[in-house]
Structure formats: C-alpha cells, structure tokens
Amino acid sequence: MEFILDTANLSTIEKALDLYPIDGVTTNPSILAKEGAIDVFAHLKAIQKQLGPDRSLHVQTLSDTAEGIMAEAAVLRQHLGSTVYVKIPTTPQGLKAMKHLHAQGVRITATAIYSKLQAFLAINAGADYLAPYVNRMANLDIDAMDVLSSISAYIANAQSSAKIVAASFKNLAQINAAIEAGVQAVTVDPSLLDAIFSSAPLAKAVSDFTRDFEARFGSGKNLTNL
Ligand code: G3P
C-alpha cells in the first residue's frame, strides 16, 4: 500500500512527511490554484525537493486535445525530469495522449475515473496509475467499491503492473473500504490522515500510561532518564 498526499501545500507536506510513511504527492489544477498566485513550476520543484528521489509526484495537464496534453507533458518533463507522473484526465483525447506518451516511456497517471471501462481502457493505453474518484462516485450514487474491485480484478487478470491510486476521499471509512477493495495506493488530504489519530480514547490511553509510570518513577521520567 502506498499512502500519497493530495495537496500542494508546502508546509502541510513538510509536516506530513515528517510524521507519516508517505510515498508521494498528487496535485490537480484546483489543488494548485488553492496555493495562490504561485510560480507553478518553482512550486512543483519545491515539492519535488521535499519528496526526494524515492517518492512519486503526479501533476495534471489541462489541455482538452491529445496534442495539447502531449505538449504539456513535454514541458512538465523539461521542468521536473522524467520521473514525474503526468496525470491525464481519462477522456477520449486523454486516452489518445496516454497511448502516445506510454510509447515514449512517459510515466502516466490516468485520473478523473468514474467508471470501470474508463479504467480498463486507461490500463490498455499504458497508464501506470489509475485514479478513481471515490467520494465523487458516491455523490453520484455509483458503487465506488464495486468499481475499485472490478479494476483490481482486471489488473490481476491482465497481469498488468498498473496500480490503483484511489482518490477523492471525504472520510476514513471510504479509505478503509478502498484498501479492502484491493487498491495499491490511496491519495488523501493530510487532514484526513490527522483525523485517524483524533480519537479521545487514543489520547487517554497514551496519557494514562504516562500518568501511571510517572506516579511510580517520578515526574518527567521516561526510559532515557531513570
Ligand atoms: O486528486 C483529485 C481528487 O482527489 C479529487 O478529490 O476531493 O476534489 O473530490 P476531491
């Protein structure tokens, strides 16, 4: 399982990388726009520096033609190098671009997936990651977990190396269900990761241990200063 951050906020990324075992960052145009009037490529380079060489960065194109998407992919790779994943909406023109870019060895994340067949076509077009939108599907009364399970079975049957990076989560139950449906990765707003640890019983368990130990061995005592 890969845990990926769905944000472009530098301080949020820094904090999450410090705390959690994180495998990468995904962005989309709306997420980048939230950061204000940034120099987009300088900002993406800063994220890339935070991530280091072993974590993935996924950046989305905006053009609605295959030619435009391929031109954006070329510029993106000029700025960020060949390790960047070019995130492409899974439209007919997007699939055309994926086929050509895959043939050139470009890393691809197929995004905006709301249906099984979008994902199946993206796999055949050479996508490395597939990003189904879990909460947005749920909002449309689409059974997102059925979609994830079918994509997972398709990958297994095709013996494909493509990975599902489930996206668009609004609660922890959706993340758990996606993982149980067999995805290889989830991309999550870091505030949802923080929410995992927000339960009062967890905080109480930790503070009770400290209280009991200090009552016996002295205030401020721990394994370093007995
Ligand atoms: O990366 C894009 C995807 O996560 C969309 O999420 O929260 O806008 O539905 P959301």
**Which residues, 6+ apart, have CB-to-CB distance to 145 below 8 Å?**
177, 178, 181
Predicted local distance difference test score (pLDDT) of residue 129: 98
- Tell me how far apart the alpha carbons of residues 15 and 12 are, in angstroms, rounded to a whole number: 5
For residue 167, which of 55, 17, 7, 50 has the smallest C-alpha distance? 7
- Tell me how far apart the alpha carbons of residues 128 and 109 are, in angstroms, rounded to a whole number: 6
Q: How far is the CA of 34 from the centre of ligand 1 (A)?
A: 13
Predicted local distance difference test score (pLDDT) of residue 152: 98
Domain boundaries, the chain: 2-188, 199-226
Taking all residues of the chain, what is their mean pLDDT, rounded to a whole number? 98
- Tell me how far apart the alpha carbons of residues 7 and 5 are, in angstroms, rounded to a whole number: 6
Q: Whose CA is nearest to atom 10 of ligand 1?
A: 168
Q: Whose CA is nearest to atom 8 of ligand 1?
A: 168
Instruction: Tell me which residue has tokens 């013996």.
Output: 159
Predicted local distance difference test score (pLDDT) of residue 82: 98
Q: How far is the CA of 211 from the centre of ligand 1 (A)?
A: 42
What are 139-195's pLDDT values in tens digits?
A: 999 999 999 999 999 999 999 999 999 999 999 999 999 999 999 999 999 999 999
Atom of ligand 1 at shortest range from CA of 30: 8
Which amino acid is present at 42?
A: A
What are 66-112's pLDDT values in tens digits?
A: 999 999 999 999 999 999 999 999 999 999 999 999 999 999 999 99
Q: How far is the CA of 38 from the centre of ligand 1 (A)?
A: 20
**Count of alpha carbons within 13 Å of 197, Cβ hemisphere only?**
8
Residues enclosing ligand 1, CB less than 6 A?
6, 26, 28, 133, 135-136, 167-168, 187
Show which residues are catalytic. Answer: 87
- Tell me how far apart the alpha carbons of residues 30 and 60 are, in angstroms, rounded to a whole number: 10
Q: Whose CA is nearest to atom 7 of ligand 1?
A: 168
Query: Which tokens belong to 212?
Result: 């009991």
What's the CATH class of domain 2-188?
Answer: alpha beta
**What's the pTM value of the predicted model, to 2 decimals?**
0.96
